[in-house]
Amino acid sequence: MIPTKFTLRLNMLLLLIFASFSTVLAQDVTRTQSIQVECGNIIESEFVNSFEEDLYQISMDAGNTLNVSAVSLGGQLKTGIILTGPTNLGIASSFQRLEEGRRVIFGNSSHLRTEAVVNSDILSARGTHNIRVVNFVSRYYEFETDRYDPSAIDPVSGGIGVYTLFIGCTLRDGTVINPGDALPEAVPDPIVSSQSAFPGFGFPGLNSVDFSSGIEIPIQLGQAQTIPVGGDISLYTYESNTEESRTLTLSRLSGNISIGVTVINRDTNEIIFFAGLPSSDNLSAELTFPSAGTYVIGLFRVDTADRIGTSGAVQITLE
């Protein structure tokens, strides 16, 4: 049958409607650059696009809990919150449903709120967690690729506008940090103090060294590890039995690195060995691990009044 002008126009109209409908369903998400935040922060932000994600990153320890809310200004903007862990698996959300797996299921736009609230369970992992504030709903978000499925985004946006993000935490020791509170100051180890605070003759102590951001590598017995040490730390782990004895050897291979080494219990932070080589080239020590567990051998640069910013390569062996 030869198509008439009417059927041609009808087909064109249907194609235009279908194209418009497909455009509505396949939404692109505008994503902001990640913002580093801390427990106790109160942050004001703004959505300027209809389908947008604001990403906030926060460093958390295992055993902590995270409590987050996003409150819109004026009550028109509606948002949702998704929490993902260091490997980007889902932890919690303010939506109807969240599944840990390859994809997350959110629900629909009716689950967006002018005050979105999400409370995590006790966190299992240590590291950078992600707070994702969105003004839309997607039925599918792929953890592995960190991608929202454009064809599964609800075509109804929560709108644009200003909101305030409130970040609260409960630490493993029970300390509650409400939005607006300052982080508790770390209590310094009495044997670790600022060098500039010591005016006399003797050992001035050393500044604290934070291992929480370092990458831990299991050490193989009897195998020498050669590493450059500068501003970064190097961490090696060893699984010990109770009262096990091992020999730790450290040698400076190149440069003028002033090197410090400590062995600590991974779970309790108990120091079982500490030494420094500002000028010496070699060290050998007999270690006794008092209890079974994971121990961390930490290598770091030691700055003294006479040796600051040194660098070089060292070799470490445990046997």
Whole-number pLDDT of residue 2: 46
Whole-number pLDDT of residue 57: 94
Query: Which of 15-24, 80-89, 219-228, 251-260 bottoms out in mean pLDDT, i.e. has the lowest?
Result: 15-24
Whole-number pLDDT of residue 104: 62
* Arithmetic mean of pLDDT over the chain: 81
- Please tell me which residue, 20 or 226, carries the higher pLDDT value: 226
- Please tell me which residue, 290 or 212, carries the higher pLDDT value: 290
CA distances from 20 to 10, 25, 73 (A): 15, 9, 32
Mean pLDDT over 202-225 rounds to: 80
pLDDT of 46 higher than 90? yes
Query: Which of 16-30, 53-67, 167-181 bottoms out in mean pLDDT, i.e. has the lowest?
Result: 16-30
Residue among 117, 115, 111, 109 nearest 92 (CA)? 117
What pTM does this model have? 0.52
CA distances from 3 to 10, 16, 216 (A): 11, 18, 72
Whole-number pLDDT of residue 99: 63
Tokens matching residue 126: 């240590």
* pLDDT-above-70 percentage for the chain: 80
pLDDT of 36 higher than 80? yes
Q: Return the C-alpha torsion angle 76, 37, 134, 71, nearest 10.
A: -20
- Please tell me which residue, 227 or 238, carries the higher pLDDT value: 238
